[in-house]
Amino acid sequence: MLMNAVEVMKCLPHRYPFLLVDGIESFTADESIVGIKNVTINEPFFQGHFPGHPIMPGVLIIEAMAQVGGVFANLNDGIGADKVTYFTGIDKVKFRQPVVPGNVLRMELTLLKFRRGIYQFAGKAYVGSTLVTQAELKATFVSREG
């Protein structure tokens, strides 16, 4: 593991219950990053999504991928936890399989382009070797003061 959760928190402003990255497995400058999320029954969203049939909300899988992108921006370009991420676009989203407690979500992001402060990533999320979610994510980073 390249980074554990404590090290991830040095890169992102997110905290419980919204920190959705438990570690970074690999990082290649100007190219890609791989992060993980251990999905447990203790996640607060499972209380209501859905009682007796817990499924991780798709929007939170997308958010977890975006947080991995935030770590990429920090490692690649020094964009620190003093900034917040604003989505500028989410395209080509496909949810292929449900993500449930006990799964380890492995998120692979590849940088497609970086222009005028906007990062564009191709993201894929896997459980084991099964592709569960994919999307293109666009985001920028702004000062907390706004």
Is residue 24 within 8 Å of residue 72, measured between CB atoms? no
Is residue 90 within 8 Å of residue 62, measured between CB atoms? yes
DSSP 50: -
Out of 2, 27, 49, 83, the active site residue is 49
Active site (annotated) includes residue 14: no
**Among all chains, which residue has been given the structure tokens 């554990």?**
4
Amino acid residing at 72: F
Is residue 84 within 8 Å of residue 13, measured between CB atoms? yes
Helices (H), the chain: 5-9, 58-77
Q: What are the catalytic residues?
A: 49
